[in-house]
Amino acid sequence: AQSVTQPDIHITVSEGASLELRCNYSYGATPYLFWYVQSPGQGLQLLLKYFSGDTLVQGIKGFEAEFKRSQSSFNLRKPSVHWSDAAEYFCAVGARGATNKLIFGTGTLLAVQP
Amino acid sequence: DSGVTQTPKHLITATGQRVTLRCSPRSGDLSVYWYQQSLDQGLQFLIQYYNGEERAKGNILERFSAQQFPDLHSELNLSSLELGDSALYFCASSVGGGSPIGEQFFGPGTRLTVL
């Protein structure tokens, strides 16, 4: 069965510092991988996605993620965090097949210190 | 603005009652997905409809049902409500229904509070 693990429930970084949010997945084949962001009281916005090809993917708002098959990981990174990045971040895996349903991780809540 | 609309934004009701949540997908999208976000269960996939037909089912309770109408809007019906059904219910839409996977666009959600 597919599953996603985000080991960090809560992370605090200083503004301007670099950020890495961890995501590990379990899936029998190469999955579709996504990172979504949820600001307080808002819906989910797609930051980036990996389907195939280049394992380093660029997203919106200066985020990037790297797919590492050997580690079953898809970590999200940003070189310099802005206060507006404070939000909850969800990693998700999508199956290849007849459905596009997404399986989400438990989320990582990011706080940004001035 | 994702283009997906959900009504109502907030819903407060009592245990044992029945409610209907409504979702209008983005123009041109044929698939609608329902997700439940709660503190104890996180974000869980409930059900997917594609062009009016059920495509996939997740952890959806028997007390819950959904449908997608010919105009592609969808409704999620929750009945015999319990305190534990209090959650944020998201609707998402995408163009396709399966592989190759497409981006899902999420609505702002309906916050359901069961008292």
Assign 3-state DSSP to chain B and report helix, strand, coil percentages, each to 5.
5, 50, 45
| Distance, first Cα to last Cα, chain A | 41
What confidence tier does A11 reach under pLDDT thresholds 50, 70, 90? Answer: very high
Q: Is B42 left (phi over 0), alpha (psi -120 to 50) or beta?
A: left
Instruction: Among A32, A51, A100, select the one facing B97 at the smallest CB separation.
Output: A100
Q: What is the pLDDT of residue A98?
A: 63
Express each pLDDT in B10-66 by its tens digit: 999 999 999 999 999 999 999 999 999 998 889 999 999 999 999 989 989 999 999
Express each pLDDT in A20-58 by its tens digit: 999 999 987 778 899 999 998 788 999 999 988 889 999
> Do the chains contact at A104 and B44, CB–CB below 8 Å?
yes
Higher pLDDT, residue A96 or B46: B46
Q: Is the pLDDT of residue B100 over 70?
A: no
* Three-state DSSP string of chain A: CCEEECCCCEEEEECCCCEEECCEEECCCCCEEEEEEECCCCCEEEEEEECCCCCEEECHHHCEEEEEHHHCEEEEEECCCCHHHCEEEEEEEECCCCCCCEEECCCEEEEEEC
Q: In the beta sheet, which residues pair with residue B37?
A: B43, B88
Q: What is the pLDDT of residue A36?
A: 96
> Is the CB of A25 inside 8 Å of chain B's CB atoms?
no
| CA-based nearest residue in chain B for residue A37 | B106
What confidence tier does B99 reach under pLDDT thresholds 50, 70, 90? Answer: low
Q: Is B112 left (phi over 0), alpha (psi -120 to 50) or beta?
A: beta
Q: Residues A72-97: what's their mean pLDDT?
A: 93
Q: What is the pLDDT of residue A41?
A: 78
| CA-based nearest residue in chain B for residue A51 | B101
